[in-house]
């Protein structure tokens, strides 16, 4: 039996401000750091030894993972992959979700946030929030840098990477992935075989490790959030 641990980064500064973040490289709040530390403590109590660590290349996911590793006293290198980045919210990037709900309606905002294949208008390439103008993304080939994405777009890049780099290991080694709400939703859709309606209902809490138990035949035997007080409905379990 092996374990796959999925964790959405701790609260970020733009989570706190209720803004569409996407590929903008904001850091954790103090509360987000505490969430990451608590996640590390809960993983430590579970006595699961992590063989491999993965993260997006975004600061909030990287720093969440570093805090977890420090809590575990584990100095292994971790692999960063842009494919695990958050979904790109296009022209919504940087805007306040409440203000946009008032402007275009709650239903429209909800559809942009949770639907499978609806994507916002593209973000202007001249915007300071466009990935082309953010230094951390400078080594990603331009053809892979989006102007906007749907969850379907996010799913395709996340799962392609997962199949190539991680899936072959998950039935025999313990793996932890530090990523984002939508990249983890993409992974859950694939792992739990959720349909396009079920995935719209899935919420991922910040800083709460989701532990998935996998047998040698790649079958999921169990899954649970370690912090039960902040657990979300897993839809399938």
Q: What is the pLDDT of residues 206-223, one digit of tens each?
A: 999 999 999 998 899 999
User: Which residues 6+ apart lie within 8 Å of 165 measured at CB?
Assistant: 54, 79, 81
Average pLDDT over the chain reads 93
**Does residue 237 surpass a pLDDT of 60?**
no
- 187 in helix, strand or coil? helix
Q: What is the CA radius of gyration of the chain?
A: 17
Query: What band does 81 get if pLDDT is binned at 50, 70 and 90?
Result: very high
pLDDT of the residue at 2: 96
Unique residue bearing structure tokens 């199949």:
163
**Does residue 234 surpass a pLDDT of 80?**
no
From CA 103, how far away is CA 118, in angstroms rounded? 18
From CA 214, how far away is CA 1, in angstroms rounded? 6
Burial of 102: CB neighbours in 10 Å, binned 0-12, 13-18, 19+ = exposed
pLDDT of the residue at 200: 87
Active site residues: 9, 86
pLDDT single digits (tens) 4-14: 999 999 999 99
| Domains defined along the chain, listed by start | 2-230 (3.40.50.1240)
Number of H-type helices and E-type strands within the chain: 7, 6
Q: What percent of the chain has pLDDT over 70?
A: 98
User: Are 171 and 219 in contact, with CB atoms under 8 Å apart?
Assistant: no
Burial of 13: CB neighbours in 10 Å, binned 0-12, 13-18, 19+ = middle
- 84 in helix, strand or coil? helix
Beta 2-8 vs 175-179: how paired, if at all? parallel
Distances (CA, A) of 140 to 133, 144, 191, 215: 12, 7, 27, 35
Task: Give the tokens for residue 50.
Answer: 């992590």
pLDDT of the residue at 102: 79
From CA 184, how far away is CA 177, in angstroms rounded? 9
Q: What would the mean pLDDT of 90-113 be, rounded to a whole number? A: 83
Unique residue bearing structure tokens 């899936």:
167
């Amino acid at each position: 039996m092996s374990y796959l641990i999925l964790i959405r980064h701790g609260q970020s500064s733009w989570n706190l401000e209720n803004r569409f973040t996407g590929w903008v490289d904001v850091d954790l709040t103090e509360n987000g750091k505490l969430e990451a530390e608590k996640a590390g403590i809960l993983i430590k109590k579970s006595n699961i030894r992590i063989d491999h660590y993965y993260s997006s290349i975004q600061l909030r996911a990287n720093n969440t993972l570093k805090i977890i590793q420090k809590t575990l006293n584990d100095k292994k290198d971790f692999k960063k992959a842009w494919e695990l980045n958050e979904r790109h919210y296009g022209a919504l990037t940087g805007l306040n979700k409440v203000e946009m709900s008032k402007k275009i309606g709650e239903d429209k905002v909800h559809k942009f946030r949770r639907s499978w294949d609806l994507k916002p208008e593209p973000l202007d390439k001249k915007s300071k929030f466009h990935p082309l103008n953010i230094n951390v993304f400078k080594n990603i080939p331009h053809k892979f840098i989006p102007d906007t994405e749907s969850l379907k777009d996010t799913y395709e890049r996340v799962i392609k990477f997962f199949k190539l780099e991680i899936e072959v290991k998950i039935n025999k080694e313990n793996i932890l992935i530090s990523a984002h709400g939508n990249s983890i939703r993409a992974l859950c859709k694939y792992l739990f075989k959720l349909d396009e309606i079920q995935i719209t209902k899935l919420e991922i809490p910040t800083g709460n490790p989701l532990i998935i138990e996998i047998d040698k035949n790649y079958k999921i035997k169990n899954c649970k959030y370690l912090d039960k007080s902040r657990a979300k409905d897993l839809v399938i379990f």
